[in-house]
Structure 1
């Protein structure tokens, strides 16, 4: 990935931070499952914590603005 010839291009994959949201909740839920022989009825508290964390993260990611490449393409068209 890099710059396109004849146009502007911003590599968005290179700039992303490798954040792992809800990893702690996932680990606690999986360890609870392994301790209880895959019986998720005994791990309801961990399961609810994981579900609320995932719901919060999906709500955060829904707000979406224009991508950087979209705005660079618009800028390039106006400059010509």
Structure 2
């Protein structure tokens, strides 16, 4: 409805499913919480590992180039 016919568009929600960098650490932490009846002190090591993974994946360390759809619109204007 909101897009012009023939324009370039990529569903960025589908691209997000391709890589899940901290999924292993998250499942380890959640399984630890489940086995220890949500005792945070018993799962402190898994929590630290998960936090380290999330910190390494933060947007602070990456250069933002804009969304993929923004870049496609820029290409479309140049034609």
SS, match of residue 48 in structure 1: helix
Uncovered stretches (5+) of structure 2, i.e. residues with no partner: none
1:47 match = 47
For residues 15-30 of structure 1, the aligned pairs below 5 Å read 16=15, 18=17, 19-30=19-30
Uncovered stretches (5+) of structure 1, i.e. residues with no partner: none
SS, match of residue 42 in structure 1: coil
Quick one: distance in 2 between partners of 1:72 and 1:59? 21
* Rg (Cα) greater in structure: 1
Quick one: distance in 1 between partners of 2:43 and 2:54? 17
Over the aligned positions, Cα root-mean-square deviation in angstroms equals 2.9
**For this pair of structures, how many residues does the alignment match?**
77
TM-score normalized by the length of structure 1: 0.68
Structure showing the higher helix proportion among its residues: 1
TM-score normalized by the length of structure 2: 0.69
- Mark the CA change 1:4 to 1:46 in structure 2 (over 3 Å): closer, same or farther: same
